[in-house]
Amino acid sequence: LAKTTQPISMDSYEGQEVNITCSHNNIATNDYITWYQQFPSQGPRFIIQGYKTKVTNEVASLFIPADRKSSTLSLPRVSLSDTAVYYCLVGDDTGGFKTIFGAGTRLFVKA
Amino acid sequence: EAQVTQNPRYLITVTGKKLTVTCSQNMNHEYMSWYRQDPGLGLRQIYYSMNVEVTDKGDVPEGYKVSRKEKRNFPLILESPSPNQTSLYFCASSVGSFTGEPLHFGNGTRLTVT
């Protein structure tokens, strides 16, 4: 199973760039890497997704090295409202379409 | 508005009293899934369904049942709830069963079993 490992927590200040790295050593060939954001008592929300190299949207960038065994979510110029838990998700390699979330990274943005 | 709707939002029950948490999506999604979230453990998948009448176990299926008789609905059934099933539950759906499809989550159901 393609389990993921992320830092438990990170602190940052407003206006800084934040990079959260996720390890997924057993990622399967067909798996995409997807990141979600979750605020307290709400369901996770899709942020960004990628397969390899770099993906950028209006919210974040995702960097994936050639071996795909890790990925880095980059949040430019964070604000207080970016304080949340961030999950890295990869698909199950048995083709059964399980979805495996890690424990997530709790990001705390300070003023 | 495209959404995943769970009911109820909050539920307090006693050990052994059967309950059902409903989940409905209005996006014509094929894939639906249930998760539970406990402090420090992140989201763990309970059951998922790739289409009508097709369901399969996730990582923590013990003590739960599901059914998928219609595409839009995916209820979670606890036949005999126990205190260790006290948790925050989320239902989610996506366009297809391809793992690259983003999941859309409901707002959660907080269940307490005493």
Q: How big is the A-B interface in CB pairs under 8 Å?
A: 72
Is residue B47 classed exposed, middle or buried when 0-12, 13-18 and 19+ CB atoms within 10 A define those classes?
buried
Greater confidence, B2 or B89? B89
Cis peptide before B8 (omega within 30 of 0): yes
Nearest CA in chain B to A96: B56
Residues of B in contact with A41 (CB under 8 A): 88, 107-108, 110
For residue B99, name the pLDDT band (cuts at 50, 70, 90): low
Is B74 a residue whose pLDDT tops 70? yes
Tell if the CB–CB gap between A43 and B106 is shorter than 8 Å: yes
pLDDT under 50: residue ranges of chain A: 93-96
Lowest mean pLDDT of B54-68, B69-83, B92-106, name the range: B92-106
Please report the pLDDT score of residue A97 as a whole number: 62
Residue A69, CB-side half-sphere exposure with 13 Å CA sphere: 3
CB B55 within 8 A of CB B61: no
Is B34 a residue whose pLDDT tops 50? yes
